[in-house]
Structure 1
Amino acid sequence: MATAHTDTLDRAEQMLQPLFAGYQGLEFGGGVIFRGPASDYCLEHRGEVETGLRRLPGAHAFETLDGHVFLTYTIPAPHVKPVNRKLHAALLLATVLTTLVAGANWRFDQFLAQVVASVGGAEGSVPIGQLLGELVQQGGLFAMALLLILGSHECGHYVMARRYGMLVTPPFFLPAPIPPVGTFGALIKIRSPMMHRRALLDIGLAGPVAGVIVALPILIYGLSQSTFVLEEYVQRSVGVEFGHSLLTWGLAKVFMGTPEPGYTLNWLAHPLAWAGWLGLLVTMLNLIPVGQLDGGHVAYALVGRRQRLVAWFFLGVLLALARTQWPGWAVWVVVMSLLMRPAHPPVVLDDVPLDRKRQIIGWGAMVFFLLVFMPAPVVGLM
């Protein structure tokens, strides 16, 4: 007995047939992907065809492979819920509030001390209204910068996935109710399979590239506005020390110089430096070549099914670092081993090779991963 969804697929196939010079249909979780070389009619009337396809409920994309133009059209499964824009907006608003509180929290002790001095009429004390304004400004700068970095990262994935005709949700921002960061990050859900390794590389790298393009200027400006402080002060007021990667160490050298003995860089001294550091930390964690992390996408695009060997090797490296540098890596190894699965799932068309340009970009991304990798992200915690 035919279902409404089956009838919809049949009608869609009849409408799409003239657009292909031969095609194949791929079923996935109740949805269907139609893919094949575009017909002469489709290419001659491409503008009209694209306008018509945008009116349909699925997603489409044109791409050129080895000189041939291919059309991909994806029809979602009937049980897939439409995008709930109110939910996305509510999560974003909640994350704005929690990151604002987190950004202000690092200055709260100083704020209280100054309020006490102001109430007590101490000489040179600042009015409470001005102090409150400064506190909100600190939190606002941090929240704006961090959400801009995270949003750029996820929007990079989103835009590239849509370019490949994939079904994908807008970003979900995840608020964290307590400091020090105020958010668990952001994510998108890709609801259709990866067609080939070229798409995998492009989509996997679009997020980190977009995020880093935003994070680096924020970090550099934050560093240029920061000063070195006594190590004793950092240990007493913060309680932890935030680690360096080769990139952050080099940027601190260039924009701040070398600290005097007994002094160190306090990443929390300026909200933009703190947000930029977190942005590079997120990039580093995403580029770990395991499972369906961005780094797992890149590794599979470069070496195919051998990615699982790369993943297990790197998990071994993290275990070694858990013993010598930061015990928190052990938690990450457990999460990535049990919840994510180290091996990346295969793509649909595994025989489509990477072109030389993408190979260079992919290996360049792995080199960049080494530049932003922090052996001990947080010293004194765990």
Structure 2
Amino acid sequence: MDSRDTAAEPPVDALRSVFHLHETRRDGDRVLFYGESLVPERMLVREVWEAFREAGYEVQVATARGGREDVVVARPVQSGIDGIPWKNIGLFLATIASTLLVGALTWYYIPADELLANPLAVFRAWPFTAAVLGVLATHELGHYVMGRYHGVDVSLPYVIPFIFPFGTLGAVIRMRGQMPDRKALFDIGVAGPLAGLAATIVVTAIGLSLPPVEVPAWALEGSSRVIVFNNPPLLDLIATALGEPTEYTDPAVSVNPVIIGGWVGMFFTVLNLLPVGQLDGGHIVRAMLGESQERVAALVPAALFGLAAYLHYVLGYAIDESVGLWGFWGLLSAVIAFKGPANPIDESPLGTPRLLVGVATFALGALCFLLVPIEVMTV
């Protein structure tokens, strides 16, 4: 049910203590209060937020009438899904199709002419699709469930279809509501990586326990250059615990593609834990350190560019390998950092238990990090 159906009248008396009210208007389901703020904007929101929230509203401050007046905008908080999420469903189905196709062609070595003759053969790649989407969906649903728990308006996950090598670019959710405090920001931010890592460990263990796939002769012919996805430390730890190999000396045998779902989960965990802007790491560090997070975020692009330069100029890796990967993320992290992190209403610091969980989360993320996740090798 949408909270717009149950929202009470906005608590005007709470607003009058920090706002000189001139006029009130309604614009659809929004209530607009025109006047002059008696305190700075962030203080105004902090002072009235709790009363408006209890009445079923979120508040924002803007300017109106050529900047001569302030306007407080109160809109009902959404507490449910409004209608059928067709966009989420459409993207999910498209990503199922893209991961099935990429999985069939790339990881199960089904020739393109066989797929053209028998399109249903693509479903032989369903374990790969289930592994990749299971890890990504679990990560995003961790955010979603915790967002709903804290009463923050968050969308269902949007899964993004793509092409080689995984058939997807990952998944995202949108946090459309205000963040009540640093505890909620931390819980929502950390829930995704922890849920995703739990799914990643399960998927990796299953993949290691499944039999390898045979590489057909035609796939071994032609180009002598192959793309290698190196093992993160966490993957090697799981393999060692289970006593299972992660590679074979026989080139005609390859690991089960379900393991790739685990690799994807680990790699996206590293990227999501970068402590910048709206990434999970940005939310977690913003909640842990407060506004000091922005100083940390400013160092991330430089660190990634430095990593790319080290790989290229010192270790001699080519641009089309991990050099380009870290360089791209250096640029992207600069853009994300520029947009800034989420700012909670209540800046009360976190307690020790949450700080310890945050440190543990980054430690687990470090087990997923690789200096050279992808490289091109000659065989």
- Measured in 2, the distance between the counterparts of 1:340 and 1:312 equals 7
Q: Which residue of 1 aligns with 2:346?
A: 349
- Measured in 1, the distance between the counterparts of 2:29 and 2:205 equals 57
Q: Which residue of 2 aligns with 1:367?
A: 363
Note the alpha carbon deviations across 1:125-169, whole angstroms, 9 max, x for none.
xxx98xx77x53442111122112111111111111111111111
Residue identity opposite 1:98 in structure 2? S
SS of 1:380's equivalent in the other structure is strand
Aligned 8 A contact 1:311 1:342 in 2: no
- Measured in 2, the distance between the counterparts of 1:379 and 1:302 equals 35
Aligned 8 A contact 1:312 1:342 in 2: no
- Measured in 2, the distance between the counterparts of 1:235 and 1:200 equals 51
Q: Which residue of 2 aligns with 1:189?
A: 174
* Alpha carbons of structure 1 residues 343 and 8: separation in structure 2 relative to 1, 3 Å: closer
Q: Which residue of 2 aligns with 1:252?
A: 239
Give how far 1:304 is off: 1.8
Give how far 1:175 is off: 1.6
Show structure 2 runs of 5+ residues with no match.
Answer: 1-22, 33-42, 59-73, 312-321
Q: Which residue of 2 aligns with 1:334?
A: 331
Aligned 8 A contact 1:195 1:348 in 2: yes
Note the alpha carbon deviations across 1:167-203, whole angstroms, 9 max, x for none.
1111112222x33211222111111222221111100
Is 1:153 aligned with 2:149? Answer: no
1:26 to 45, 66, 78: 45
Give how far 1:344 is off: 2.8
Give how far 1:234 is off: 11
1:304-323 → structure 2 map (5 Å cutoff):
304-323=290-309
Q: Which residue of 1 aligns with 2:210?
A: 225
- RMSD over aligned CA atoms reads 3.9
* Alpha carbons of structure 1 residues 234 and 312: separation in structure 2 relative to 1, 3 Å: farther
* Alpha carbons of structure 1 residues 310 and 136: separation in structure 2 relative to 1, 3 Å: same
- Measured in 2, the distance between the counterparts of 1:264 and 1:252 equals 20
Aligned 8 A contact 1:228 1:263 in 2: no
* Alpha carbons of structure 1 residues 339 and 353: separation in structure 2 relative to 1, 3 Å: closer
Give how far 1:339 is off: 4.2
Q: Which residue of 2 aligns with 1:103?
A: 103
Q: Which residue of 2 aligns with 1:4?
A: 26
Residue identity opposite 1:160 in structure 2? M
- Measured in 1, the distance between the counterparts of 2:195 and 2:158 equals 17
Q: Which residue of 2 aligns with 1:200?
A: 185
Note the alpha carbon deviations across 1:307-359, whole angstroms, 9 max, x for none.
22322333333222212332120111111102442753432222x11111101
Give how far 1:104 is off: 0.7
| Superposition TM-score, scaled by structure 2 size | 0.70
- Measured in 1, the distance between the counterparts of 2:185 and 2:95 equals 29
SS of 2:277's equivalent in the other structure is coil
- Measured in 1, the distance between the counterparts of 2:102 and 2:233 equals 27
- Measured in 1, the distance between the counterparts of 2:355 and 2:222 equals 44
- Measured in 1, the distance between the counterparts of 2:294 and 2:77 equals 30
Residue identity opposite 1:217 in structure 2? V
Q: Which residue of 1 aligns with 2:38?
A: none
Is 1:165 aligned with 2:161? Answer: no
Q: Which residue of 2 aligns with 1:19?
A: none
- Measured in 1, the distance between the counterparts of 2:291 and 2:110 equals 53
- Measured in 1, the distance between the counterparts of 2:234 and 2:252 equals 15
- Measured in 2, the distance between the counterparts of 1:146 and 1:337 equals 28
Residue identity opposite 1:202 in structure 2? D
Give how far 1:37 is off: 11
Give how far 1:217 is off: 1.0
* Alpha carbons of structure 1 residues 150 and 163: separation in structure 2 relative to 1, 3 Å: same
- Measured in 2, the distance between the counterparts of 1:222 and 1:234 equals 26
- Measured in 2, the distance between the counterparts of 1:179 and 1:259 equals 21
SS of 2:281's equivalent in the other structure is helix
SS of 2:236's equivalent in the other structure is helix
Residue identity opposite 1:26 in structure 2? V
SS of 2:226's equivalent in the other structure is coil
* Alpha carbons of structure 1 residues 345 and 171: separation in structure 2 relative to 1, 3 Å: closer
Residue identity opposite 2:354 in structure 1? R
* Alpha carbons of structure 1 residues 180 and 341: separation in structure 2 relative to 1, 3 Å: same
Note the alpha carbon deviations across 1:208-229, whole angstroms, 9 max, x for none.
1111111211111112225599
- Measured in 2, the distance between the counterparts of 1:108 and 1:360 equals 42
Query: Which one is further off, 141-150 or 337-346?
Result: 337-346
* Alpha carbons of structure 1 residues 26 and 276: separation in structure 2 relative to 1, 3 Å: same
- How many pairs were matched up? 312
* Alpha carbons of structure 1 residues 76 and 150: separation in structure 2 relative to 1, 3 Å: farther
* Alpha carbons of structure 1 residues 35 and 103: separation in structure 2 relative to 1, 3 Å: farther
* Alpha carbons of structure 1 residues 236 and 273: separation in structure 2 relative to 1, 3 Å: farther
Is 1:241 aligned with 2:217? Answer: no
SS of 1:98's equivalent in the other structure is helix
Aligned 8 A contact 1:241 1:378 in 2: yes
* Alpha carbons of structure 1 residues 107 and 158: separation in structure 2 relative to 1, 3 Å: closer
- Measured in 1, the distance between the counterparts of 2:53 and 2:202 equals 42
- Measured in 1, the distance between the counterparts of 2:92 and 2:53 equals 40
Q: Which residue of 1 aligns with 2:5?
A: none
* Alpha carbons of structure 1 residues 307 and 241: separation in structure 2 relative to 1, 3 Å: same
Aligned 8 A contact 1:150 1:185 in 2: yes
- Measured in 2, the distance between the counterparts of 1:171 and 1:312 equals 28
Show structure 1 runs of 5+ residues with no match.
Answer: 11-23, 39-52, 60-73, 116-127
SS of 2:176's equivalent in the other structure is coil
- Measured in 1, the distance between the counterparts of 2:214 and 2:291 equals 48
| Superposition TM-score, scaled by structure 1 size | 0.69
- Measured in 1, the distance between the counterparts of 2:234 and 2:376 equals 22
